[in-house]
Chain A
Amino acid sequence: MREKLRQVRAWFLRFGGLFRKQRSDRELAEEIESNLQLHIEDNLRRGMTPGEARRQALLKFGGVEAAKESYRDRRGIPFLDHLLQDIRYALRTFRRNPIFTLAVVATLALGIGVNVTMFSVVDALLFRMPDHVRAPEMIVDVSLQDSDPGRAGIFGCYPGYLRLAQNSRLLDVAAQGFATIDFGRGTDAREIQARMVSHTFFDVLGVRILLGRAFSKEEDNPAAGAQVVVLSHALWQKQFGGDPHILNREVWIGDHQYSVVGIAPQGFNGPGFSIVDAWIPIADQPLIWGGQGILTNEGARWMETIARPHAGVSLRQAEAEATSAYVHSGGAPGGTVQLTPRFASRLETLSENARISLWISGVAFIVLLIGCANVTNLYLVRATQRRQEMAVRLQLGASWGRLVRQLLVESLLLSAIGGAAALLISFWARTIARTFLLPANAYQGGFLNWRLLAIGVSLTAFTGLVSGFAPAWRLSRPVVMEALKSGGHGRLLMGSKLRSGLLVTQVALTIALTIGAGLFIKSLRHAESYDRGFEPGRVLLSSMQLGRGSYKLADVLAIYNRLSERARTLPQVENTAIATTIPLYGGIYTSVGIRDEKSGFRGEMAAKNAVTAGYFATIGVRFLQGRDFLPTDRAGSEKVVIVNETLAHDFWPGESPIGKCLQFVNNHPTCSTVIGVVSDQIKSLAAGHTFSRNSGGPSMNTADAYVPMDQYLSEEYASPPSGILIRTRGNPAEAQRSVFAALASVAPGSRFVNVRPLSVLLDPQTRTWRLGASMFGFFGSLALLLSTIGIYGVLAFLVRQRTNEIGIRMALGAMPQDILRLIVWQGMKFVVFGLVIGIGAALGLSRLMASMLFEVKPTDATTYAVSCGVLVFVALVACLLPAWRAARVDPSTSLRYE
């Protein structure tokens, strides 16, 4: 052990010995000189002549330089010493070739930069742990495994949570429920994302409150809940300017005043990744949602239970204990409590975002490979120029290994510079990439973490080795050197096979990317121009958080009516309507049907939507038959219904449904008279996402049934209206501000009114394709650019190499167009070869993409043809430039030059 420490100490000193060389050298020389003098003096004393004394001393010493050399080897670490030498040499070389250096560094910085950026997104989606949570891998989701689906969700309700929290001795249990609430009053009012959490929540997560405190047990008591709130750091900063005296301030949350008791640390979002603005005691749930009873209802499913097993307790132990605690506290026997690590592998269940991001990362990596190919080409060109230097060094006895190392050090150093620049690039680019790829309100977190750094470093090493190895190998190969020495220089093409291989690969990868981009662009075009049966483009959507019980349905309707009428007085507004289901939202599905003599009752599921008169005109739906609702269709009058095409076709194929009876099957069937038929509205472009029709196979069309708002609200299980639809005369984005101002002025209690274009609801639906189109498009263009540069570079180099030969050909009577054809074909044959391979690869790979495309086959012929056309055109231009120069070679000059 002691020995080892001595060794380590010695290595440290030797590492230090790599520096301060001059001083140490001087000291050694001095020491040797003084010892020699001592020796000489001894010799003189023994009676030697001065000359002899000196000669003998030197002889005895045995080679001063040799001694110094082995002293130096011992002083430093020879391997590192040589490395430093190589690096210094490389840096000198770079300074001499600034353009070459810049080209390599820029290419690599771009390539590594896009990859690091993409990885930062993938990292956020797949590997990031929530901030400020202690040992997040120990946090588990609590669920019940039970054959009865009614009981299985027990931990989604408050009594289920309580049972476990009060009885488990091996688990710390917490609960959180979600709530979108409005915060503040008047002009400062806004909608925030809140969590209703148990008082144990912050302790279970192990988070330290930044300012103030978390909730006490008393404040989380359903009987006497206190109105206290913990704000997020971001909300505190944004809404209160980081006021240090924020504690005990009263703030409006919904209809109630809350007292601020704490500020969460910056970036804390609980056990999740979307942004949370505030936390309130879960016992306050009735205040937030209105209505009583949900806290004691075992059937409600509105929250989640999480837990952390005590230290040293295995999951299995904790599960067994939790199961018995659950059963002994009155839970139904037969169920077992399951604890699933909440932040375990997200690799198995890839989210949509993660899937797209991984695809794009793959694409980014391909771009890096194409960039590497270009850099390799640049190295090869330079290698040809450096043959002389290498030959000299080999001849002087430098070993082959040493030369390879020198060249690898150069390429690694260049990619290291590129890698450093890449970090800067991705620091800038990440904002763009994350806005595109991360869920809208996801917490973005810090930039650099060790995973990102590790990826950056590995990519740098990878590019350095991959791009530099082949040229280094070739350049320093003794056989090549022999050939050089025997006088054949000027004619020899360095690594021409390697060059052609690189060219073919580049073209193949590029065409594959271009085809991918084409497929996505076509999907996006189809998706965006898809006729959905209504016009979301001119519609604004307005809604308020009106609780789920604190206002009666009639009150909610009254409020919306007031807002609606106010909106209609604006010159920009053409029409308004109120609905229980906003177009593009899922909908309330109910069973509807008809009864006839032959087959009795025949039913299916339909989306039921209660709307006010003018709804169809507002969102731009065509009437096929019949009439719209009238003010006379009110509660108590004859029940009426408007159906869509699909529903009409399902029940009354080939005949007019007007006047027919449609039954809504709730607890007791009622008969509604069909008064109109409207065209279908496509709610989601994802096939099979919605209920499939009797016609079989997935369909985007659903059966819809519309009822008048007045008649609907008197029903037993009615849901409140969810918002107002406002049809504007021009661009809704322009009208948005004035509509908001008008509605806010009549909002009850100056509360927040949300006004947004309906099209924002459309965006998520076309997101996949928009992302695919923009990302594939971006990377495809990058690949195309890099490949073009590659093709041009290779051909330009080729032409320079063959100037002499071209001169001879022309002297022998070849015409300029012959030379042009010769050179162009030289390049294009690799392009064609690469195209064939690339198309093959695209045919194979695009199949994997099929599920992400919209109404485009992965083998879409037009896309393939257009992509090939673009590539061939660009490649031709890249070939023609050098070919043209070759064709203008003047034979006499070129021959004399040689």
Chain B
Amino acid sequence: MSEKAIEKTPVEKTPVEKTPVEKTDVWQGTLALMVLKTLESLGALHGYGIARRIEQTSGNKLALNYGTLYPALLKLEQEGYVASEWGISDNNRRAKFYRLTAAGRKQVAQETREWETTTEILARFLELEAQSS
């Protein structure tokens, strides 16, 4: 049974409202890559920092619900691409810091390659359409 097929009984649980963006698989995949890439360039970061950084990198074109980041981080941690530990932030606040593992580094490289290939192929198709019209 897939997770989405689970029916929740309101009696026992509060219903979860999901944003349309979050539901798409592409988004899940790209979010993971964004997180990994951010960690690769900046080293250890807490969740809030990652979210801010992603928004900044996108030139504020992406409006991210910060809350969606935590399940994504948990998934990456379960897969062994990131590791987390509690630490002290710049402004002296206890926070959980995430950093890339060796496996995560490899994963970034691989996914980057895959994305490049995909976008390259797509780009060719888009060009093709422009020519024919």
Contacts and interface: CB of A to CB of B under 8 A. Distances in A.
Nearest to A64: B67
A396 B14 CA distance: 12
Interface in B1-43: 1, 3, 6-7, 9-14, 16-19
Closest 9 CB pairs between A and B?
Answer: A67-B67, A62-B65, A398-B9, A35-B48, A10-B78, A397-B10, A74-B71, A399-B7, A13-B78
12 contacts: A6-B80, A10-B80, A30-B94, A31-B70, A35-B48, A35-B66, A41-B91, A66-B17, A67-B65, A69-B13, A69-B14, A69-B16
Residue of B7, B19, B94 with highest tally of chain A CB at under 10 A: B7
Interface in A395-416: 396-399, 401-402
A31 B7 CA distance: 28
B48 A78 contact: no
Interface of A: 6-7, 9-10, 13-14, 27-28, 30-32, 34-39, 41-42, 60-67, 69-71, 73-75, 78-79, 82, 85, 393, 396-399, 401-402
Contacts of B65: 60-63, 67
B11 A398 contact: yes
A36 B93 CA distance: 11
Contacts of A79: 1, 6
Contact of A38 (B1, B10, B95): B95
B71 A73 contact: yes
Chain B interface size range: 35 or more
A462 B47 CA distance: 49
B47 A31 contact: yes
Interface of B: 1, 3, 6-7, 9-14, 16-19, 46-49, 52, 65-68, 70-71, 74-75, 78-81, 89, 91, 93-96, 103
Contacts of A39: 48, 66
Nearest to A67: B67
A35 B95 contact: yes
Contacts of A35: 46-48, 66, 95
A85 B6 CA distance: 14
A43 to B, nearest CB: 11
A39 B68 CA distance: 15
A397 B9 CA distance: 6
Contact of B3 (A6, A9, A71, A73): A73
B75 A10 contact: yes
A36 to B, nearest CB: 8
A263 to B, nearest CB: 54
B7 A401 contact: yes
A85 B93 contact: no
Contacts of A10: 75, 78-80
A73 B15 CA distance: 13
Contacts of A31: 47, 70, 95-96
Contact of B71 (A60, A71, A397, A402): A71
Given A61-B65, A399-B7, A402-B7, A34 B93 contact: yes
Contacts of B79: 6-7, 9-10
B46 to A, nearest CB: 6
Given A41-B91, A69-B14, A28 B46 contact: no
A732 B4 CA distance: 79
B96 A34 contact: yes
B68 A62 contact: yes
Contacts of B11: 393, 396-398
Contacts of A75: 74
Contacts of B89: 34, 38
A38 B91 contact: yes
A61 B66 contact: yes
Given A35-B48, A79-B6, 8 more contacts: A9-B80, A10-B79, A34-B46, A69-B13, A69-B16, A70-B68, A398-B10, A402-B9
